[in-house]
């Protein structure tokens, strides 16, 4: 008996052994394609925490501009704690102004308000404003990235590492669909007073009206945010929050082949699983998942660098480098897709916000015209990251141990504070100090404990620190 394999052009007859081998080849090919897929998705009942649907939800994925959800979380946190105000001016450094599109295009030295920056992140997904906020809140991009990762851990996002505040290509920055769902839930739970920003469909900046990239707002019933994202390495990402006043879900789709297909999949998931969500909740899901100590974790609690000077992050994939060079970012990529959501049967005539008695398309209450440097200078919020006394020069004599190097003196002091807390007995009699040095035209700061009587004493202290997974070396 023989089997026939038909194609559109030829008909090939295969015996049973050949047919069996061919079936195995097809299976392996399919498995390889699935393994290399960017796709992941999850639907979570935001009232109960129950997972209603999951597909590769714990696999590593690139977050792209979903990263800005954490940037906004830390911004809302700073607002709530009074470290900044909505009117606080966010000054753009040369580095922030030089970020590739999408961006507001603010020139170096100029400023916008914190509220304008928030709107720009949610609608245009502005990379320049993201970095400007990071520099305001964290002192530097690297310092803020450490704050982001620390906050992720405190929220139970154990599969996430942040390297920058905007999501531009970096192979060292990754997340999972489940972690993004946790963050989406946390944003509403912890900062309901600011959550309405995510439902803004457009805002006026100067003479231009900037539309939100999230095309499900006002098209799919109940959708009230949250964020889109795209790079070539990540594919098209979307986190959506949906509510009818009783039920609440947060859904995540990552790795879509286009903005249209991603949005259709999201609409399908909402249609299928929203009705399965509970109308009764058990209180905050994410807020109670970590202790207050973890929620307030500082940058000092993160792992320390292993080398004398920070090393560059891994080189992004070549296609992502090309993406930045070509300006093929979220805004331009998603702008190429014309589509309708009516095909999945969930399109509505009136915006969801109108159907639930809210005002559609809210606009900023303050003027969003760009301010100039003639305005009052920025007052940076004070961050308590140095609970131990440090010196700026080395002790007069003896050996030292170096535990880190950082781009800012504040980060170097944070590293010293962290080690002092984790290994108090080892460094109890040592003197912490920082030392500036130049490498490749950039100033770094060494974090050291000095005052050891001999090389043997310093080496012994280092050995004890390494047992606690703290990198260090002896130096004189």
- Catalytic residues, by residue number, are 65, 68, 125
- Stated as kind and residue range, the H or E segment containing 146 is helix 141-154
Give the CA distances from residue 365 to residues 218, 222, 354, in Å, rounded to whole numbers and listed in that order: 21, 24, 20
Strand order in the sheet with 431-439: 431-439, 442-452, 399-406, 473-475
Taking alpha carbons only, the member of 97, 86, 157, 79 closest to residue 119 is 86
Distance (Å, whole) CA 53 – CA 181? 12
Cβ atoms of 470 and 419 closer than 8 Å: yes
- Stated as kind and residue range, the H or E segment containing 251 is strand 248-256
Q: How many CB atoms lie within 10 A of CB 114?
A: 22
DSSP SS3 for 264 = helix
Sign, CA torsion 86/87/89/92: positive
- In the structure encoding, which two tokens stand for residue 123, read together? 């609608």
Q: How many CB atoms lie within 10 A of CB 423?
A: 19
Opening angle at CA 122, ends 119 and 123, nearest 5: 80
Opening angle at CA 226, ends 162 and 123, nearest 5: 90
Distance (Å, whole) CA 258 – CA 235? 7
């Amino acid at each position: 008996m023989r089997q026939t394999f038909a194609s559109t052009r030829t008909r090939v007859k295969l015996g049973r052994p050949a047919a069996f081998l061919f079936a195995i080849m097809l299976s392996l090919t399919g498995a390889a394609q699935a393994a290399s897929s960017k796709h992941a998705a999850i639907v979570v009942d935001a009232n109960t925490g129950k997972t209603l649907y999951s597909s590769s939800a714990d696999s590593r994925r690139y977050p792209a501009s979903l990263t800005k959800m954490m940037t906004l979380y830390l911004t809302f946190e700073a607002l709530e704690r009074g470290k900044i105000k909505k009117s606080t001016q966010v000054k753009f450094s040369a580095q922030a102004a030089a970020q590739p599109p999408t961006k507001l295009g603010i020139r170096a030295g100029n400023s916008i308000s914190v509220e304008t920056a928030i709107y720009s992140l949610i609608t245009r997904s502005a990379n320049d404003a993201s970095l400007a906020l990071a520099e305001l809140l964290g002192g530097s991009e690297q310092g803020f990235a450490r704050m982001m990762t620390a906050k992720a851990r405190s929220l139970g996002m154990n599969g996430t590492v942040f390297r920058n505040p905007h999501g531009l290509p970096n192979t060292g920055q990754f997340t999972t669909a489940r972690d993004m769902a946790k963050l989406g839930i946390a944003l509403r739970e912890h900062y309901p007073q600011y959550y309405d920003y995510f439902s803004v469909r457009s805002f006026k900046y100067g003479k231009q009206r900037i539309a939100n990239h999230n095309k499900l707002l006002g098209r799919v019933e109940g959708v009230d945010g949250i964020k889109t994202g795209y790079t070539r390495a990540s594919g098209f990402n979307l986190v959506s929050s949906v509510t009818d006043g009783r039920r609440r879900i947060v859904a995540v789709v990552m790795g879509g082949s286009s903005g249209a297909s991603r949005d259709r999949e999201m609409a399908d998931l909402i249609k299928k699983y929203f009705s399965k969500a509970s109308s009764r909740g058990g209180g905050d899901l994410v807020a109670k998942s970590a202790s207050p100590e973890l929620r307030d974790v500082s940058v000092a609690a993160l792992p320390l660098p292993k080398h004398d000077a920070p090393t560059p992050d891994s080189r992004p994939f070549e296609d992502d480098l090309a993406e930045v060079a070509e300006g093929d970012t979220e805004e331009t990529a998603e702008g190429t897709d014309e589509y309708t959501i009516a095909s999945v049967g969930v399109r509505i005539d009136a915006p969801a916000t109108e159907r639930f008695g809210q005002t559609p398309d809210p606009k900023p209450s303050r003027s969003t015209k760009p301010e100039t440097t003639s305005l009052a200078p920025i007052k940076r919020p004070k961050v308590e990251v140095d609970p131990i006394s440090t010196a700026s020069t080395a002790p007069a004599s003896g050996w030292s141990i170096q535990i880190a190097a950082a781009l800012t003196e504040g980060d170097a002091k944070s590293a010293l504070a962290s080690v002092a807390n984790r290994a108090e007995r080892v460094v109890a009699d040592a003197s912490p100090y920082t030392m500036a040095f130049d490498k490749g035209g950039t100033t770094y700061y060494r974090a050291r404990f000095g005052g050891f009587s001999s090389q043997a004493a310093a080496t012994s202290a280092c050995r004890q620190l390494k047992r606690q997974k703290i990198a260090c070396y002896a130096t004189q």
